[in-house]
Amino acid sequence: MAVCKPAFAAAATRAHNPLAMSTTQPRRFLLGVTGGIAAYKSPDLVRRLIERDAEVQVVMSRGAQQFITPLTFQAVSGRPVRTDLWDESAEAAMGHIELARWADEIIVAPATAEFIASLAHGFANDLLSTVCLASRAPIALAPAMNRQMWANPAVQANVRMLQERGIRILGPGSGEQACGDVGAGRMLEPVDIADELFAAHPASGLLSGLKVVVTAGPTREKIDPVRFISNRSSGKMGYAVAEAARNAGAKVILVSGPVQIAAPRGIVRVEVESAEQMLDAVQQHVHDADIFIAAAAVSDYRCGQIACEKIKKTSDTLTLSLARAPDVLATISKRERPPFLVGFAAETENVERNALTKLAAKNLDMIAANKVGDGLAFDKDDNALMVYWQGGKQELSLCSKAALARQLVLVIAERYRQRGDKSEASAAASAISALHVAR
């Protein structure tokens, strides 16, 4: 399978995914990096944006280059880094105008107190500040500085001045700082900055106005008060799908088994433990849902009888009597009017055959299948999927789960729209038929 190269992830996605080409263009972010210790986090922000199929052009201040090299950003962005206002290689020697016109959005992370002051008072003393003044693109700043500096009245006055002009201030966060102080002033984590940028402007709005219920993670079935049956699912794929659906404009309900992942911003998370609890939670929220994506690894079996006390080690063997656990997806598929149903199939062999069997047996609209075991999928940050529906399929090549989830949501949105078109056509045909009979 092909691997999504970080430097050109957005271009690769569009080249191999016709839906991406036909539905939306990548957002162009100009990332400004200024001279603070938090600059070491900025390459990760580039990666987070590219995972969401954005294009990123980095502009560094002179101070930023004291903390991290331009070569690092070139490696992760796939673009030469711009640093000089007087770059003779830039278009017509007017590099700041070229960049100002290119960017859809500008994010400066970290944004130092000096840069905030420079922008607030209209100074154009380097390439980054000049681009910000010359561009009509929305600007966001992620401040990073010592807590006392952040609290200084001059800094706060400059921040208010920028906010009044429509510039977004993301953060800062609070916690331990490089200098040893504890308090407000830390730059937000890259994933949180990316979430803020995409939550504010949902990517393409393909699912705007729709309610999507997603399940994620494993379930646990009790054996006794201290032991349980479970599986190796980390929940990363399901959480990535939930975030991708949110970024596409959907209202998302995430029903999650036990995982070590923070609740995503802008998503309602319902925490459950067992398969029965997951089914109950899904039934509470799916009645008015448009799409149900069952990404959780739900236990197939549970103990027929749960011990009330811890089972003691009294013999060399222990026999457990297991019974079938509730099948969440199969139950929802039997509803009178089920939502658009997307299942997942994690298989160790015969991936396509088993996926198609599950697609038909559970009357699904789509199923996303992948091979697991031997270091594949579980507990990993990347994955690959084969997506099947009645009469069609599409391969989503190996890449980060965040990028993969976004591609999957594009396919789901397209298939959902096509099903809606068929339903409307069928309803129209029925109405015409009824009209002829009445005549």
pTM for the complete prediction?
0.64
Pair of tokens at residue 373: 């075991």
Sign of the CA dihedral running 109, 114, 118, 119? positive
Per residue in 215-232, pLDDT (tens digit) is 999 999 999 999 999 988
CATH class of 211-426: alpha beta
| Residue 23: other Cβ atoms inside 10 A | 17
Q: Stretch 311-331: mean pLDDT, rounded?
A: 93
Closest by CA to 241, choosing from 382, 50, 405, 49, is 405
Vertex 109: Cα angle to 164 and 160 (nearest 5): 20
Residue 428 buriedness (CB in 10 A; 0-12 / 13-18 / 19+): exposed
Angle subtended at Cα 38 by Cα 36 and Cα 39, rounded to the nearest 5 degrees: 75
List 367's β-bridge partners, or say none: 343, 388
Picking from 412, 411, 395, 409, the residue whose alpha carbon sits closest to that of residue 4 is: 395
Kindly state the average pLDDT of the residues 184-196: 88
What's the pLDDT at 342? 98
Candidate from 79-83, 94-98, 226-230, 251-255 with smallest mean pLDDT: 94-98
pLDDT-derived band at 243, boundaries 50, 70, 90 = confident
> Which range has highest mean pLDDT (11-20, 204-213, 406-415)?
406-415
Please name which of 176, 175, 118, 109 lies closest in space to residue 144, comparing C-alpha atoms.
109
Higher pLDDT, 433 or 372: 372
- Active-site choice (4, 179, 308, 399): 179
* pLDDT at residue 77 in the model: 94
Confidence label for 101 from pLDDT (cuts 50, 70 and 90)? confident
Collapsing DSSP to helix, strand or coil, 127 comes out as helix
* Residue showing tokens 């390439």: 127
How is residue 147 written in tokens? 């807590």
Q: Which of 402, 432, 415 is nearest to 49 (CA)?
A: 402
Please say whether the beta carbons of 177 and 185 come within 8 A: yes
pLDDT at 180 (0 to 100): 73
Return the higher-pLDDT residue of 426 and 394: 394
- Evaluate if residue 415 carries a pLDDT over 80: yes
pLDDT of residue 84: 83
3-state secondary structure of 149: helix
The CA distances from residue 137 to 28, 100, 167, in Å, are 10, 8, 10
Instruction: Look at 247 and 385; give whichever has higher pLDDT.
Output: 385
Residue 196 has pLDDT above 90, yes or no: no
The yes-or-no answer on residue 179 being catalytic is yes
- pLDDT value at residue 375: 57
CA 73 to chain centre: 22
Q: CB neighbours of 190 closer than 8 A, spacing ≥ 6?
A: 41, 42, 44, 45, 47, 48, 109
pLDDT value for 373: 60
Domain ranges of the chain: 25-200, 211-426
pLDDT at 213: 98
Mean pLDDT of 184-205: 78
Q: What is the band of 131 on the pLDDT scale with cuts at 50, 70, 90?
A: very high
Answer yes or no: is pLDDT of 431 > 90: no
pLDDT tops 60 at residue 437: no
pLDDT in tens, 250-290: 999 999 999 988 887 789 999 999 999 999 999 999 999 99
Residue type, 229: I
Q: What are phi and psi of 102, to 5 degrees?
A: -70, -40
Query: Is residue 13 very low, low, confident or very high in pLDDT (cuts 50, 70, 90)?
Result: very low
Closest CA to 108 of 181, 165, 171, 54: 171
pLDDT mean over 187-209: 79
Q: Render pLDDT for 331-362 as a digit per residue (tens, 0 to 9).
A: 999 999 999 999 999 888 889 999 999 999 99
Domains 25-200 and 211-426 share a fold: yes
Interval 65-94 mean pLDDT: 82
Confidence label for 88 from pLDDT (cuts 50, 70 and 90): low
pLDDT, position 262: 81
Residues 6+ apart with CB under 8 A from 373: 348
CA distance 31 to 44: 12
pLDDT-based confidence at 401, cuts 50/70/90? confident
Confidence (pLDDT) at 225? 93
pLDDT for 171 beyond 90? no
Weakest mean pLDDT among 10-19, 107-116, 385-394: 10-19
Residue 435 tokens read as 């009209």
Q: What is the mean pLDDT of the chain?
A: 85
Average pLDDT over residues 23-35: 84
Return the percentage of the chain with pLDDT > 90, whole number: 58
- With cut-offs at 50, 70 and 90, classify the pLDDT of residue 18: very low
CATH fold of 25-200, please?
Rossmann fold (3.40.50)
Q: Which residues contact 297 (CB under 8 A, 6 or more apart)?
A: 217, 218, 219, 231, 232, 233, 257, 346
Phi-psi region for residue 53, left (φ > 0), alpha (ψ -120 to 50) or beta? left
β-pairing, 382-389 with 366-371?
antiparallel
